[in-house]
A = this chain, B = another copy of it.
């Protein structure tokens, strides 16, 4: 972990290849860091005295203080010289944004880079990567301007992706879903630092509640599986390149072998990772696992006032192997006489269009205290008269659930968006379709299943 922890949480950063040209990576990165990073920041450029109001150094060796992390944005053929200087300066880690290494067939240059870094005791993230984005700590090496790539807020999901483009677009999706991240790391060719190193650091990061990994190829399967096993946090993996054509595509995209994907996936699952099938699932699962405890049994109760949504949720839950049991007599007994006869109290519990927030509260509190229920899926149907979204969100959010709960709001109005915010502030993840909410419960179960006992 030495060096990697500093790369993710540096006290000081040098930007080697800092530029005055707003179109250059070395400018964009310095600009982002200068406006957000609260540690010391040193632009390095042999032919500038000052950039963006910061004193510029001709080489990292001239910086008068310690430097934890170097961000490198010089041309490929200058990188090795720069890394040598980083070693001499005792820089702990370097993020090499520069491309032109193994991804274009230049394996030799990449091997030399690793060799030089080892000699100097410098850990390398990259090359050919987009580096680190940590909105909470003001670290932002994403060399795409905010107009093109709006950033998401700080939060509790860590996101790891070799691919910078997949990672950055996921940041854009997270933003759209009003979700936040603790740290995003794009590590490109992963010549040195890989998922296992990063997992070990994130396992110790208190802000991180779930770790999402977009994985193309695996270099050292055993190392990765051990790191996942060690991590006491949910690790969610989207392993792409599953089929023959997919494996071919991975090979030509990152130069790494996708390998026999089926075996990898089995091994990842065995190690305790939750396996997902799409970007959407990667985000949905990470959201659930960062907010809710694992589900430890298969029995799910659905509470709704929109019958159709209850049925869709049942279909998806049963497709995923979960169980939607009938409401047991002891619960029906509690409900007795409290609802009109046309309410359907069998699971899914349908409170109909005449329901009130209080009825939601009463039913949910009863389920919380029942041993017959392993998880709760609540689907308040908004967009109907006399049913205030804010009020129902407040009632649900005030409940002490004591067991996993996930919700779905299907409507999209300003008011339901506010209601969603209230629920999510209280730790209840809200999804935009009943099927996605049902799937989230399944992911909570997948994690619970492999981590029980």
Interface residues of A (CB under 8 A from B): 23, 103-105, 143-145, 147-150, 161, 163, 165-166, 168-169, 172-173, 175-176, 214, 216, 240-246, 248-250, 252-254, 277-280, 306-312, 314-316, 318-319, 323-326, 341-342, 344, 346-348, 350, 353, 381-385, 410-413, 415, 432-436
Give Cα A309 to B168, complex, Å.
12
User: What is the bound-complex CA distance between A214 and B308, given in angstroms?
Assistant: 9
Copies of chain A in the complex: 2
Known interface pairs A149-B383, A169-B309; 20 further A-B residue pairs with C-beta atoms within 8 A, sorted by A's residue number: A104-B342, A148-B382, A148-B383, A148-B385, A149-B413, A165-B307, A165-B309, A165-B353, A166-B309, A169-B306, A169-B383, A241-B314, A242-B315, A245-B347, A246-B324, A253-B308, A254-B307, A278-B433, A279-B410, A280-B433
Contacts of A385 in B (CB 8 A): 23, 143-145, 148
**Which residue from B165, B315, B324, B412 sits with its C-beta under 8 Å from A381?**
B165
Chain B's nearest CB lies how many Å from the CB of A268? 15
* Interchain CB contact under 8 A, A318 and B243: yes
| A148:B245 contact, CB within 8 angstroms | no
**A433-B308 in contact given A246-B318, A413-B148 (Cβ < 8 Å):** no
Assembled-state Cα–Cα distance A334/B448 (Å): 53
Asked if residues B433 and A315 are in contact (CB atoms below 8 Å), the reply is no
Please, which residues of chain B bring their CB within 8 A of the CB of A148? 382-385, 411, 413, 415
Docked complex Cα distance between A433 and B214 (Å) = 14
Interface pair A249/B316, CB less than 8 Å apart: no
What residues of B have a CB within 8 angstroms of the CB of A346 in the complex? Answer: 248-249, 252
Alpha-carbon gap, A106 to B29, bound state (A)? 69
Name the one of B308, B347, B410 contacting A240, with C-beta atoms under 8 angstroms: B308
Q: Is the CB of A306 within 8 A of B103?
A: no
Cβ contact within 8 Å between A165 and B312: no
Q: Could you tell me if B350 and A253 are in contact, using CB atoms closer than 8 angstroms?
A: yes
Interface pair A314/B246, CB less than 8 Å apart: yes
Q: How far is the CB of A322 from chain B (nearest CB, A)?
A: 10
For A143, the chain B residues whose CB sits under 8 A away are 385
- A434 lies within 8 A of B163 (CB): no
5 contacts between A and B (CB under 8 A): A148-B382, A166-B309, A168-B383, A173-B410, A243-B314
- Contact between chains at B384 and A165 (CB < 8 Å): yes
- Smallest CB separation, A28 vs chain B (Å): 8
Residues of B within 8 A of A309 (CB): 165-166, 169
| A103 surroundings in chain B (CB, below 8 A) | 342
Contact of A172 among B311, B326, B412, B415 (CB under 8 A): B412
B413 contacts A150, C-beta separation under 8 Å: yes
CB of A411 within 8 A of CB of B311, answer no
Q: Please, which residue of chain B has its CB at the minimum distance from the CB of A161?
A: B308
Report whether B307 and A163 are in contact in the complex, using a CB–CB cutoff of 8 Å.
yes
- Chain B: which residue is nearest A300 at the CB level? B245
Residues of B within 8 A of A383 (CB): 144, 148-149, 165, 168-169, 172
